[in-house]
Amino acid sequence: MLSQTSPELPLRRIRVYSRRGCHLCEVLIEDLLPLIRSHLELEVRDIDTRPAWAENYGMRIPVVEYEGRAICEYTLDRDAIRSIIAALPGS
């Protein structure tokens, strides 16, 4: 029996709003990467690169966002990330 492979679906994107030198941000990203590997693409946004981001997030970082919705702030919510991955097509 031949197995039929489907074309690779593009990875959905998860965002982390962060800033340089933020220890909490570094820890969150380090903990997030193994969870999302091969499931989601990570985009890190430095809030200091855009005034609107800096105004919106200020000291309230890191913030993890998926599909326009804040998932967690300051610390990683592993259960929320696992739920997102479980709901992805093909999971």
Enumerate residues 6+ apart whose C-beta is below 8 A from 22: 61, 62
Residue 19, domain member (yes or no): yes
Using 50, 70 and 90 to split pLDDT, how confident is the model at 90?
confident
6-9: long-range contacts at Cβ-Cβ below 8 A with a sequence spacing of 24 or more? 9/89, 9/90
Residue 3, domain member (yes or no): no
Residue 91, domain member (yes or no): no
pLDDT score of 31: 98
Residue 70, domain member (yes or no): yes
Residue 5, domain member (yes or no): no
Q: By the 8 A CB rule, do 40 and 67 touch? A: no
Using 50, 70 and 90 to split pLDDT, how confident is the model at 3?
very low
Q: What is the CATH number of the domain that holds 68?
A: 3.40.30.10
Per the structure, the complete domain to which residue 82 belongs is given by: 12-86
Using 50, 70 and 90 to split pLDDT, how confident is the model at 11?
confident
Residue 2, domain member (yes or no): no
Our count of domains for the chain comes to: 1
Residue 82, domain member (yes or no): yes
Residue 4, domain member (yes or no): no
pLDDT score of 6: 42
- Could you report the per-residue pLDDT of 18-68, keeping only the tens digit for each? 999 999 999 999 999 999 999 999 999 999 999 999 999 999 999 999 999
Q: What is the 3-state secondary structure (H, E, C) of 12-29?
A: EEEEEEECCCCHHHHHHH
